[in-house]
Structure 1
Amino acid sequence: MALPGRADDGAPSPSDPTPSGRVETVDGGAAVTPKELKKRATAWALWDVGNSAFQAVVVTFVFATYLASDLFIDPQVAALGEANPLDPQYLAAQAASTNVIANLSTVAGLLVALIAPVLGQRSDGSGRRKLWLGIFTGITVLIMLAMFFIQPGEEYLFWGALLLAVGTIFAELSGVNYNAMLSQVSTPKNVGRISGIGWGLGYLGSIVLLVLLLVLFIQSFGAEGRNGILGVPSGADGGALDIRFAIVLAAVWYVVFALPVMFKVPEIPKDENRPKVSFLASYGVLFRVIGKLAKSDPKLLLFLAASAVFRDGLQAIFAFGAILAAQVYGFAPSEVIYFAVAANLVAGLGTLAAGWFDDRFGPKLVIMASLVSLTAFSVVLIFLPSEKTVFWIFGLALCLFVGPAQAASRSYLSRATPPGREGELFGLYATTNRVASFITPALFSLFVFLSGNPKMGIIGIGIVLAVGFLMMLPVPSKVKQASA
């Protein structure tokens, strides 16, 4: 598998070579041949394909929805809900199980916000960035394998939610090191495309994996109590083995696609002149970094804040999309997965295309155009009838612009980061996102509460995207590298 080169002017990818036939990466590391750098970029992008197993299968469409199902509430109460979905006792049980998942997820988010920038900072110059990526990825995979033991039953809900929360922590920490690696596998001329290819392949990987899991384990083919072409036992009587085996296969998928980056991308060199500080003292260094950014690079600090806001809105589109599809537009569970496959396909193709625009016109233009389009489509959805066809058209239109904004945001920071500080600034990138992660869910809930209509939650998403757009206006279009 190879990454595409520049087709617009015939120049080779990943960048124009020097007279020696070598190119220099964004981080200013050792010059390598274009062919070798392309191999490294391919290996790096494949990790995103592996990571899609956790993000799409565990967090969004399979394991999290499994935990939120009636399989984890009292069977007698679940029977009441079957007879009357509005039964107060049933609704209270649903709310209680959702709160367990939400509360542990909130704790996980706070922990990531606290430790991500410090761990990222400590990996810079340590000569261990790839090592930590491997460790955090490995722990995430082990947690996914442990999810196999979460059987249907109230007594397993807490442990399932705990695994989900802890897995999220290590997945986020691995993402800090992975994002910091972008500068090692790209050049100033193609960093936007490489970032976009990573996001795009992640979306496309989600499609392949979801379809595979659907066919093998989850889709009903008419056999009572068994799902998938393998006829795996399902439901409470079958121990939900269809879901549990799906998670195991997703873990194997993660390992397969995470391995190439460990073999093809070299470890960063150790900076012997970098002062060693304790873990707690790293927080003092972090606050000094933020203070220095506020004085010397306030626009970069503004970008971190703005991107935290609009990325929260982007994540909400996928997070609440499945809920809206089911509750407002009447999608059946299988239809939700079909939409998820289509959504990831559209998002992936949009991201791959946007990478070219990023390198040609700059990441800010891609971000701003995406936010305008997303806000406009959100407004349109509010006023159109709640019909499946409407959601298919405008829901997919929203997905078309989610990936480009995410990928361009990552490439903007990569361009602005001086060599040796990638982990530190991408740690801040993760932290600011976590700090802002309550905004869209809170506004979504507020508008649903005030209107009594789940569809009105879209207003909250639109507001966040619009605020992110306004915050981005003062951010320079021409990326300036931060002070070292």
Structure 2
Amino acid sequence: MGLLGLGSAAFNAVMTTFVFTVYLVQNPAFGGEDYASRILGYGIALAGLVVALLAPVTGQRSDAGGRRKYWLGINTGAVVVLMALCFFVYPSPSLLFLGVGLIALANVFSEFAGVNYNAMLGQISTPSTIGKVSGFGWAMGYVGGIVALALVLVGFVLPETGWFGATAENGLNIRLVAVFSAVWFMAFALPVLLTVPEVPRQPEAAKLGFAASYGLLFRRIKAIYRTSPHTIFFLLASAVFRDGLAAVFTFGGVIAAGTFGFTLTGVIIFAIAGNIVAALGAVAGGFLDDRLGPKKVIAGSLIGLLITGTAVLVLGAGDYGIFGIAWTGDTTFWVFGLLLCLFVGPAQSSSRAYLARLAPRGEEGEYFGLYATTGRAVSFLAPALFALSISIFGEQRFGILGILVVLLAGLLVLLPIKEPARIPKAQTPAA
């Protein structure tokens, strides 16, 4: 499981967050930052809508048909092909829509693969080790981001002529990064696809047509609510705080560059360091998860994020003398930015472990489909409040306030929810 997380970092860290989307937005040949950002935003939003509508049903059907690993392979392969096709996105206004379309579609298939991938957690762990296994898998994702970003930096971004003769002319170096990312992802995905066993087939449920699966889905939500309403409440709480967690990484590089004056190289170096810290945090959180329970780990991590995020907001890029020590804006971001990364890992890992403990055997794909859907349903919150806070206060650093509000809201919704325990399979009434 850790290998697939390691491989998927090539898409999440390189293609979506730090390199390829930056290429689309910053290269003036695509129409300028404002225009390209707007098109990219619409594309990702549309991808999120598709995932929200289809993720729970696709997860449900892969569970019932005994084809969880099969669909993980199909969706992973689709992401790999779409990344490789990004090689053909030359710097040209007419190709912006191609680039955005490929990234958006890859996001859809990546989310579908994530549903099946997360659902496998119960297959490769026990109730006493599920936290450690989840934490290790998440940490491997961060390790993958570290190594992939480092290789991209030294092989394609820093040198005038990089690997395979890559130069910045016609965006060749970044287009080759797309091919590198595709090969990286597939190389680490294959061992998982070849070794993890398939789940048993459920013949009666597998006979449902696609449209009928939606009827079953809504009956399942009602049944889950009757059996364990805290499962539904957790899905809602996690949707909110996971949006805040995603925003920490999504806007971390933007804040580093805009508020604290980091160069692109500096942003990537910080990203590598941040992934190292997040990986360590995920592993430590995994051990604490099995001992204390996932709710305590998530709540503690969110409190840590609120404290360190507030420090970044209040201190900003100013220079201070603290306890006789010169404290600069760079110091502020490196210290508290890395602490933010430390707390993100455990919160993400324990959130997945929390739901894995709740999901009855054989229904993990459906539960993680709902997990993906609820997360997508509120994915506008942190970006909207980030932008609104900047508009109100007139400074980019105040965008952090919007993220903090989302994290606080998620924490408040989480607090009344019970610690998870494996629950009985919900009895679904007949249609």
Alignment of 1:306 with 2:237, yes or no, is yes
Alignment of 1:47 with 2:4, yes or no, is yes
Matching residue's letter, 1:173: F
Aligned to 1:228: 162
TM-score, L = length of structure 2: 0.94
CA distance in structure 2 between the aligned counterparts of 1:72 and 1:467, rounded to whole angstroms: 40
Task: Map 1:47-446 onto structure 2 (within 5 A).
Answer: 47-73=4-30, 93-220=32-159, 226-228=160-162, 232-234=166-168, 238-274=169-205, 276-386=207-317, 387-446=329-388
- Contact kept? 2:360, 2:422, Cα under 8 Å: no
Q: How many residues align?
A: 415
Tell me which structure has the larger Cα radius of gyration: 1
Deviations 1:235-288 (A, max 9, x none): xxx111111111111111101100111111111111224352111111111111
Runs of 5+ consecutive residues of structure 2 not aligned to the other structure: 318-328, 427-431
Residue 233 of structure 1 and its aligned partner are, at CA, apart by: 1.5
- Contact kept? 1:72, 1:153, Cα under 8 Å: yes
Deviations 1:163-182 (A, max 9, x none): 01000000000000000011
Structure 1 residues 191 and 248, CA gap change in structure 2 (3 angstroms): same
SS at match of 1:240: helix
- Contact kept? 2:306, 2:407, Cα under 8 Å: yes
- Contact kept? 1:218, 1:227, Cα under 8 Å: no
Matching residue's letter, 1:431: T
Residue 480 of structure 1 and its aligned partner are, at CA, apart by: 4.2
CA distance in structure 1 between the aligned counterparts of 2:208 and 2:163, rounded to whole angstroms: 55
SS at match of 2:170: coil
Matching residue's letter, 1:427: G
Relative contact order, higher structure (CA 8 A, sep 6+): 2
Q: What stretches of structure 1 move > 4 A for 4+ residues in a row? A: none
Bigger mean CA deviation after superposition, 44-53 or 269-278: 269-278
Aligned to 2:326: none
CA distance in structure 1 between the aligned counterparts of 2:57 and 2:416, rounded to whole angstroms: 28
Residue 153 of structure 1 and its aligned partner are, at CA, apart by: 1.4
TM-score, L = length of structure 1: 0.84
Identity rate, percent: 48
Larger helix fraction of residues = 2
- Contact kept? 1:300, 1:482, Cα under 8 Å: no
Residue 231 of structure 1 and its aligned partner are, at CA, apart by: 5.0
Residue 155 of structure 1 and its aligned partner are, at CA, apart by: 1.2
Residue 478 of structure 1 and its aligned partner are, at CA, apart by: 4.2
Matching residue's letter, 1:442: A
Aligned to 2:325: none
Alignment of 1:461 with 2:403, yes or no, is yes
Structure 1 residues 466 and 227, CA gap change in structure 2 (3 angstroms): farther
